[in-house]
């Protein structure tokens, strides 16, 4: 599977414009469906005071809103940089058909955007993570899953 350089160039231009405009970091993303741009996104973390407003997440949110669904079956995402763990998970949850990226995670790290610690944290046991993660009221919390199992109107995802 080969990507379309035109869509990648658009993602790169969105990333550069994000920096030049002062809106956010150097990241851009384009969601494509059937050869047409469905949605775009650029990094809006500092502009929106939202640590989840990475370019890929912004583009996915826009594409889903446009399609009226939470699934992006058949869509490709072009991102100016290799997705971070959060964005990669969002892309998988959205069920995109392919990911095309420009810069690598190592390139991002060289520019001061190093996600390596996140990959390391995920692999650590809970008691060794840098932010305490503590199980609390599990027996009570399971009631939400029981309600989900019993809810006839649920939408599987």
CB atoms within 10 A of CB 125: 7
CA 108/CA 70 separation, integer angstroms: 29
pLDDT along the chain (157 residues), means of 10: 95 97 95 97 96 98 97 97 97 98 96 91 94 95 95 90
Residue 47, exposed/middle/buried by CB under 10 A (0-12, 13-18, 19+)?
Answer: middle
* Residue 156 designated active-site: no
Q: Looking at residue 73, what is its pLDDT? A: 95
CA 57/CA 90 separation, integer angstroms: 7
Pairing mode of beta strands 75-81, 98-103: parallel
Q: Looking at residue 53, what is its pLDDT? A: 97
Catalytic member of 56, 120, 127, 139: 56
Q: Looking at residue 46, what is its pLDDT? A: 94
Global model pTM greater than 0.75: yes
């Amino acid at each position: 599977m080969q990507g379309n350089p035109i869509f990648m160039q658009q993602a790169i231009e969105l990333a550069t414009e994000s920096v030049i405009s002062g809106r956010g970091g150097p990241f851009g993303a384009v969601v494509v469906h059937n050869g047409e741009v469905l949605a775009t996104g650029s990094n809006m973390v500092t502009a929106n005071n939202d640590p989840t407003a990475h370019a890929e997440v912004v583009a996915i949110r826009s594409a889903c809103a446009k399609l009226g669904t939470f699934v992006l079956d058949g869509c490709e995402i072009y991102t100016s940089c290799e997705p971070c763990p959060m964005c990669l998970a969002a892309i998988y949850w959205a069920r995109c058909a392919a990911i095309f990226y420009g810069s690598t995670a190592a390139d991002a790290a060289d520019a001061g955007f190093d996600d390596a610690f996140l990959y390391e944290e995920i692999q650590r046991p809970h008691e060794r993570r840098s932010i305490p993660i503590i199980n609390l009221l599990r027996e009570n919390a399971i009631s939400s899953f029981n309600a989900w199992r019993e809810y006839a109107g649920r939408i599987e995802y």
